[in-house]
Structure 1
Amino acid sequence: MKREEVKKLMYRRFIEPTKLKKDVFTGVELELPIINLNKTAVDFKLVHKLTVKFKNYFNFKIKDRDENNVICALEDQVTGDIYTFDCSYNNLEISFGKEKNLYHVKERFEEYYKFIQDVLNKENHTLTGLGINPYRKHNKRLPIPNGRYRMLYHHLCLYKLYGDGINFHDMPEFGMFTSASQTHIDVNFDDLILALSVFSKLEPIKAVLFSNSVLNGENMELACSRDMLWEDSMHGYNKKNIGMFDTLPQNIEELLEYLLSTSIYCTEQEGKYLNFQPTVVTEFFKKDEINGEYFEGGKYHEIIFKPKKGDFNYFRPFKFVDLTFRGTIEFRSVCCQPINETMTAHAFHLGLINQIDEVNQILDEDTAIFNKPYSLTELRKMFVKSYLPEFVEEKELKKLLIKILDLASKSLKERGNKEEKLLNPLYKRAKSLENPAQRLIKHLNSGGKIEELIHEYGKL
């Protein structure tokens, strides 16, 4: 395919759906680490038993099974809620059907959570609100046995082949022990560019408020190690696929050009998942042949295949602020939050989506964080640490955080659902300048045990 044809595909897949958006719905995805309190590997038999019990109790329908015929995904055909797992059976994921009122999501989540905890607790297992599974070293490094997750893990394990000039970490299984709290919000065409720009600028602020992924015992200066785990993996082979926009797009044309410079690394042809060296998407479709790999008969095989138009369906970047084919912006940078504060991030994003002009003005005039000699990428990297940069005046930072939260609160009040109450924990974090990760680090450094926070962060 020629470059212009790829560009048209990009437009139809990512831009065109935003022209159909009128109402603003929210989609919530929650990933939650499963922990075996015996400090041994999570019991997958228990996990599978839980899935069956959940299905029967909530009358969910089977959506998918793995290659061992084990149920790995359930769906409620009324609400659209999906019970599944991310990367491995160590990481439970609950995705909620689109909603206008976040309290509807909150109510269903709490009902699901109580049921799941009751089943797990009887076998000395638990869920908790941590972005890194604190017992990750005890767990089996096994992807869900299906084509997609096996391919993904294999692809991430290939970092040793591409190490020249790239500082990869040695944890390709990170998807099996990291848990996120992701928000999808409908965005219309006219607001698209400004929304991407404003929420990208907010990433340093979100690091201050939401960081909650500590690699206990390995890199304690990082409050949000998820950034590093994504960026210094094969996902970051092309840096444009992950993290921040290096330059904020100013219009649709610049956004398309940016997307055309990102890479594709997998596809599915003839029923086989194929992975290959990440290749800039326009270059991929120029090639007559691609060298890749696929799994069959218990081992990987080399394959030479021809790019097809349908391969474009497997193209996806992983930016912090991502445009999806559903006409939504996906906010991907927030760690799993303490369970009784789960809805904070979703309320934050929903509260600000209709205030982007006001947020933009605040950030353009700010001097507490912004209008300094640092790029947005540099600022995010500074603020995901467990301590603040030296240039920050705490009093001014608190004012900025409160100003942003007040704007979100005002917008949520206008919706009339009392969703502004969901922001209350963020006001506490802003006033103390302490996010869940910093609290955890302080707790451990003072001699506290991780088990105490596993239980505390897991309470409703």
Structure 2
Amino acid sequence: MNQEDLRNLIYERYIEPTKHKRDVYAGIELELPIINLDKTPVDLKLTHSLTEEFKKQFDFSVKGRDEKGNICALEDTVTDDIYTYDCSYNNLEISFGKEINLNRVEERFKKYYTFIQEFLNSENHFVTGFGINPYRNYNRHLPVPNGRYRMLYHHLCTYQNFRHQKNFHDMPEYGMFTSASQTQIDVHYPDLIKTINLFSRLEPIKAVLFSNSVLREDNMELACSRDMLWENSMQGYNTKNVGMYDPLPETIDELVDYMLQTSIYCTEKGDKYINFPPKVITDFYSEETIHGEYYQKGNYHPISFKPNGTDFHYLRSFKFEDLTFRGTIEFRSVCAQPVNETMTVPSFHMGLINQLDELNQILDYQTSILNQPHSLTELRNQFVRFELPDYVDKNQLKKLITEVLDLATKGLKHRGQNEEKMLKPLYKRVKNLENPGQHLIKHLNSGGELKDIIYQYAKL
């Protein structure tokens, strides 16, 4: 397969879906860490019982089982909501079927959350709104026993083979203790480049608003460790696969060129997931034979195969603004939030998605903060820290973020669903210039108990 064939494949899979006229829906994925308040590993028998009881309570159907026969995914065939676990049974995930009205998502989330919390509390377990499991050091970090998550963990563990090429961290299990809040929104072809670029320029501001993944005891300088964990792992072996677009694409052709530089590291043949060292997709298809390995009966075995067209579907990037094959952009940079502020994330993005021209004016006008001699990646890396850079005028920063929030509020009011109320907690964060991660660090640095914030961030 030559480069022109690949270009056509990328265009057909990712660009063409944005040309289909449709309403703008949101797809929301919420992850929550499960903890054992006894400071011992999460009881997996309890999580499996929770799954069974959730199925009965809400009349969900079984969508998937792990290799031991335990249910690992449930689905509501009416709403398309999915109850599952991300990477490990320590990390609960609820993915909501696409909705126009965010209030319907909030209503279902509250019902699900109340049931889950009450069930877990009966055995001194808990879910809470942290981007990093606050009791991660007590848990067993084992992937959900199925082909996909075993393959992913095995891939992340191969970082030791590439230490001479990149400065990796030593936490390949990070997917088992990190929780995110992700929003997918339909994007239309004429707005595709503008949407990617404007929301990319917002990433430093989003860091100030939403950071909530503190590596307690390991790195208290970062209010958001999520970026570092992804970028300094095998997922970030090729920087084109993660983080920001750098530089920002100015045309569809440039976006496709960028995607041609991303890497593939796995495929599936029959019932076997196959790992191999990451390869830029153009290099992958230029080789006659790919050498990898697969898992079977407790061991990994070598395998060689010839690349074909089906492998292309396993090309996956994890950009902060990630274009999907559904004709949506998935906003991936946000940590899980305190539970009663969960809806701040989708409402922020939905409020701005149809306000692109005004958003562009705000960002162009506020040059003193965002037009520093730094790339967007460098700005984001500075703004996820506990302390803001010295050059930042905090009053100017508050003014800028307030203008963005006011625009999001305007966009939500225009939708007429009374969703603008979901943004109120963000105004408080701007007033104090304090996100949940910074609040946690300040609390701990002043001698406060971690358990206080665990309970605070779990309130509905």
Report the TM-score when normalising by structure 1.
Answer: 0.99
Residues paired across the two proteins, number = 460
Letter in 1 for 2:152: L
Offset, 1:358: 1.0
Unpaired segments ≥5 residues, structure 2:
none
Distance in structure 2 (CA, Å) of the matches to 1:312 and 1:364: 38
Asked if residue 61 in structure 1 is aligned to residue 65 in structure 2, the reply is: no
1:55 touches 1:61 (CA, 8 Å); kept in 2?
yes
Offset, 1:400: 0.2
Letter in 1 for 2:61: K
> In structure 2, what is the equivalent of residue 374 of structure 1?
374
- 3-state SS of the aligned residue for 2:87? coil
> In structure 2, what is the equivalent of residue 184 of structure 1?
184
Distance in structure 1 (CA, Å) of the matches to 2:81 and 2:336: 18
Asked if residue 38 in structure 1 is aligned to residue 38 in structure 2, the reply is: yes
> In structure 2, what is the equivalent of residue 195 of structure 1?
195
Asked if residue 205 in structure 1 is aligned to residue 205 in structure 2, the reply is: yes
Offset, 1:162: 0.6
Offset, 1:367: 2.5
Equivalent runs, 1:20-419 vs 2, <5 Å:
20-419=20-419
Distance in structure 2 (CA, Å) of the matches to 1:369 and 1:182: 26
- Per-residue deviation, residues 225-249 of structure 1 (Å, max 9, x unmatched): 0100000000010011000011000
1:368 touches 1:397 (CA, 8 Å); kept in 2?
no
Offset, 1:306: 1.1
Offset, 1:124: 0.3
> In structure 1, what is the equivalent of residue 18 of structure 2?
18
1:368 touches 1:400 (CA, 8 Å); kept in 2?
no
Distance in structure 1 (CA, Å) of the matches to 2:74 and 2:294: 27
1:75 touches 1:83 (CA, 8 Å); kept in 2?
yes
Deviating beyond 6 angstroms after TM superposition, the runs of 4 or more aligned structure 1 residues are none
Letter in 1 for 2:323: L
Letter in 2 for 1:75: E
1:266 touches 1:314 (CA, 8 Å); kept in 2?
yes
Offset, 1:21: 3.5
- Per-residue deviation, residues 201-251 of structure 1 (Å, max 9, x unmatched): 000000000000000011000000010000000001001100001100001
Bigger CA drift: 368-377 or 183-192? 368-377
Distance in structure 2 (CA, Å) of the matches to 1:328 and 1:87: 23
Distance in structure 1 (CA, Å) of the matches to 2:346 and 2:152: 27
Distance in structure 2 (CA, Å) of the matches to 1:85 and 1:36: 16
> In structure 1, what is the equivalent of residue 427 of structure 2?
427
Offset, 1:357: 1.2
Bigger CA drift: 369-378 or 273-282? 369-378
- 3-state SS of the aligned residue for 1:278? strand
Distance in structure 2 (CA, Å) of the matches to 1:258 and 1:174: 27
Offset, 1:368: 3.7
Offset, 1:165: 3.1
- Per-residue deviation, residues 261-319 of structure 1 (Å, max 9, x unmatched): 01001110121000110000011011110111100011111111111110011111100
Offset, 1:362: 1.0
After superposition, the CA RMSD in angstroms is: 0.6
Distance in structure 2 (CA, Å) of the matches to 1:9 and 1:298: 36
Offset, 1:438: 0.3
- 3-state SS of the aligned residue for 1:99? coil
Letter in 1 for 2:168: F
Distance in structure 2 (CA, Å) of the matches to 1:207 and 1:370: 13
Identity value in percent = 65
- Per-residue deviation, residues 33-78 of structure 1 (Å, max 9, x unmatched): 0000000000000000000000001000000000011100000000
- 3-state SS of the aligned residue for 1:447? coil
1:29 touches 1:183 (CA, 8 Å); kept in 2?
yes
